[in-house]
Chains A and B, each alone.
Chain A
């Protein structure tokens, strides 16, 4: 059974949203399927837990927090991603049932693309050097990144066989791009990681949507999920 939270859920912090996603993955280990659309009320940067092993992580994390961008670790892979007002997250979980990671990415991107079409936006998956948390399964709009994706997979507990997945996307909905990208670049500099190409490599739903399309991104995502359930 698909447990879909069709309304955009607001969390005070990105850490709370990440915890909710962990809960969905745990439920998937027991056989459940779920979807969650959420947004954090306060800005933050999130990255895989392996970042905590990078030299200077503690100091860089504290400096990022002092700049207004507290740093949280997340269970999915990839790189540093912004969170906060105007950034909508979609999390899908369930038994993999023979899916591959690529198929799960494809399914996630198909749902987001369908939602964006409802807002008059054409998108396609692909890599984009210089975008934050770059990967093969970004969603691009006119050559600019509008969403990033990542996943976590876990084996189902015995006596079950197979795996469960959490497929996650962070979608740039209605957010001024300069501040979050500057926050990522400042953290990257402190951790000796490459900086992004800045706002020119990114776009938002607010910048791309057709005038007169009344639905919110959250509503469009909920509709697209329902269409595939």
Chain B
């Protein structure tokens, strides 16, 4: 299992971020490096790419507000 984690060093302060899109569905097969989600903080859209190839398990849905370092999904 490989965690899909919100980066911790991209913006200053402890602002939370919102998941604005999942581009792959729960249980879908994803390839390492594929664009699978987007998050937004302070008018900046960050791409979240698959950290490994496998099956996607989504832990937080679109519109969820999460902290830096949060695990929002897994690839198994």
Contact = CB atoms under 8 A, between A and B. Distances in A.
Given A50-B20, A50-B40, A157-B33, A77 B45 contact: yes
Contact of B40 (A53, A77, A137, A157): A77
Given A101-B44, A149-B43, A154-B49, 18 more contacts: A49-B21, A75-B45, A77-B43, A77-B45, A78-B43, A79-B43, A100-B10, A100-B12, A101-B12, A102-B12, A150-B44, A151-B43, A151-B44, A152-B44, A152-B47, A154-B46, A155-B47, A157-B33
Contacts of A79: 43
Contacts of A50: 20-21, 38, 40
- The 3 lowest CB-CB distance pairs between A and B, nearest first, are A78-B43, A151-B44, A50-B20
Interface in A41-96: 48-50, 53, 75-79
A158 B51 CA distance: 10
Interface of A: 48-50, 53, 75-79, 100-102, 105, 133, 135-137, 149-155, 157-158, 163
A153 B33 contact: no
Contacts of B40: 48, 50, 77
B29 interface: no
Given A50-B21, A50-B38, A100 B9 contact: yes
B42 interface: yes
B44 A153 contact: yes
A100 B40 CA distance: 14
Contact of B45 (A53, A102, A137, A152): A152
Given A48-B20, A48-B40, A49-B21, A102 B11 contact: yes
Interface of B: 9-12, 20-21, 32-33, 38, 40-47, 49, 62
Contacts of A101: 10-12, 41-42, 44
A76 B44 contact: yes
Q: Which of B12, B20, B41, B45 neighbours the largest number of chain A CB atoms within 10 Å of its CB?
A: B45
Contacts of B21: 49-50, 53
Nearest to A79: B43
A153 B12 contact: no
Contacts of A163: 10
A77 B10 CA distance: 15
A86 to B, nearest CB: 22
Which of B33, B40, B44, B46 neighbours the largest number of chain A CB atoms within 10 Å of its CB? Answer: B44
Contacts of B44: 76-77, 101, 150-153
Nearest to A168: B43
Contacts of A76: 43-45
Nearest to A154: B47
16 contacts: A48-B20, A48-B40, A53-B62, A76-B43, A76-B44, A77-B41, A79-B43, A100-B10, A101-B10, A136-B42, A152-B46, A152-B47, A153-B10, A155-B47, A155-B49, A157-B33
